Amino acid sequence: MEAEPKDLIVLGAIKHGIKKFDKIQKRTKIEPEELNLILEQLEKRRLIQAKEKKGLFGMKVEITVTENGSSEVDERIHELQTKWNQMSLLYKTGDKDKLKQEMENNKSFIPSMMFFGIMDMMMFSMMFSMMGMAMTDYVAPENIPDTGDGSMDDGGMDDGGMDDGGMDDGGMDDGGFDFDIGF
């Protein structure tokens, strides 16, 4: 069952326009060997097709989703949305035991829910808070959205290390540009 969500993530990435192996690998964070196996399985199931195209630097392989593949992604995203709605409802009713059981039953689908943006990350973290658990008990740290600054997702609020909000005037007191025009 664990491979199923990775299949869906790869298929979803391709459906959303990522057509090259290296870009699929980068977006899905799946090791190249494993990604190759997943792509072979998807092709055998006729959910994707690989086409060779002439490029500027020779032949390149472009991977596209088939009509069956597109339908498969849509159906499975709908199922994921239904699972998330059930967990949300249990959270809102405050039933910790049922929520914990539901999360345990759907543990393998949580990375897919994150990948497709189905879950509300704020609510998801509050679910763990309510149960007195850490998010990493259910989700591998590499699957938790990251801002790239070493911290967990901060909602895009990283200021790039600027303490003054980027308002450094560089020592100019007139607020203008300093041009040396040679006079």
pLDDT of residue 23 exceeding 80, the answer is: yes
The span from the CA of 80 to the CA of 180, in Å, is: 60
Task: Please state, in angstroms and as integers, the Cα–Cα distance from residue 21 to each residue in 11, 15, 17, 51, 67, following that order.
Answer: 12, 13, 12, 12, 20
| Position 4 confidence tier, pLDDT thresholds 50, 70, 90 | low
Region 173-183 average pLDDT: 48
pLDDT at 144 (0 to 100) = 66
pLDDT at 145 (0 to 100) = 62
pLDDT of residue 148 exceeding 80, the answer is: no
Report the share of the chain in percent with pLDDT over 70. 73
pLDDT of residue 37 exceeding 90, the answer is: yes
pLDDT at 164 (0 to 100) = 43
| Residue-wise pLDDT tens digits, 46-102 | 999 998 888 778 788 899 999 999 999 999 999 999 999 999 999 999 999 999 999
Prediction pTM value: 0.68
Whether the CB-CB separation of 10 and 50 falls below 8 Å is answered with no
For 63, the token pair is 């991977």
pLDDT at 143 (0 to 100) = 63
Region 129-148 average pLDDT: 70
pLDDT of residue 154 exceeding 50, the answer is: no
The backbone torsions φ and ψ at residue 119, rounded to the nearest 5 degrees and listed phi first, read -90, 150
The span from the CA of 5 to the CA of 109, in Å, is: 6
